[in-house]
Amino acid sequence: MKKTILAFSRVSPSLLEPYKDDYDVIIISPELGDMDAQFEAAISNAHGLIGGSRRLGEAELAAAVNLEIVSSISVGYDNYDLDYLNRRGIMLTNTPDVLNETTADLALALILATARRIPELDSWTKEGNWTQTIDASQFGCDVHGKTLGIIGLGKIGEAIARRGRFGFGMTILYSGNSRKPKLEQELGARFVPQEELLSASDFVCPVVPLTDATRNLIGRKELALMGPESILINISRGPVVDQDALIEALQEKTIRAAGLDVYVKEPLTNSELFNLRNVVTVPHIGSATTDTRNAMAKRALENLLMGLEGRRPRDLVSTTK
């Protein structure tokens, strides 16, 4: 009997087409109606799940009696109840590495957009306000030669640091659980306590996974350590930053600006952030390029097939195998 693959999002039908002879393939789609209802109708038959951006735990998977593997098209896996999956003996995989450079590109885009006030001044111009030579009220701040503080110098953090150092001549500070001597030598990076990083950096960029230890890593205390000319960039996970505290800091201008790709609740449809000119908000697009999303889906498919074939997947997150 064929095993069943259930694709619940982010998967092009063409990616799974070559495997329909070997597997029963079910692809849920908004064109077919309520996606939650489609998922619930198919889950009991599924041996493998592939997709992203869906919370999966005991309530969602109780009926998944045949499930062997969940292959997530993402690096982060905080959407999944890892303890529950381990208890069930269900493998969980992710897609690290393939989105490092693309996500770092976005981080630099947010740095530039906030520093030079690009979205704000774009709207200002289109509203017909450019009637004479601009003055200091439209000035931004430089990026080149400034200090970039990265909290968590993993692979994405390293890619951001390289862009800052070699593209803009920035001084690199970093904090985290361990030192990176090779990167210190290559990038001239300096390992400092987080408090020093916050107070000394012109741009602060947390690049950490969401865990109990990193939830609200940047709160009122941390924002207060940042100067009134500093800018916060968040491309990691929304709850890493205390969003209410950030809104307060932006309103009171205790920090200069923020560039955000992630939020406490997503999608972000109604927020005080929308009323602030000193924040750039984009809709969680860190890996959202055609090339990168295709690469992530292909890697997730490789993980899925390896798991269903009884082999150890390349990017196993859970501890079941």
| 237, 256, 293, 299: the active-site residue | 237
68 an active-site residue?
no
266 an active-site residue?
yes
309 an active-site residue?
no
| 58, 229, 266, 272: the active-site residue | 266
| 162, 190, 215, 284: the active-site residue | 284
- Return the sign of the alpha-carbon dihedral for residues 217, 87, 26, 43: negative
* Catalytic residue positions, numbered: 237, 266, 284
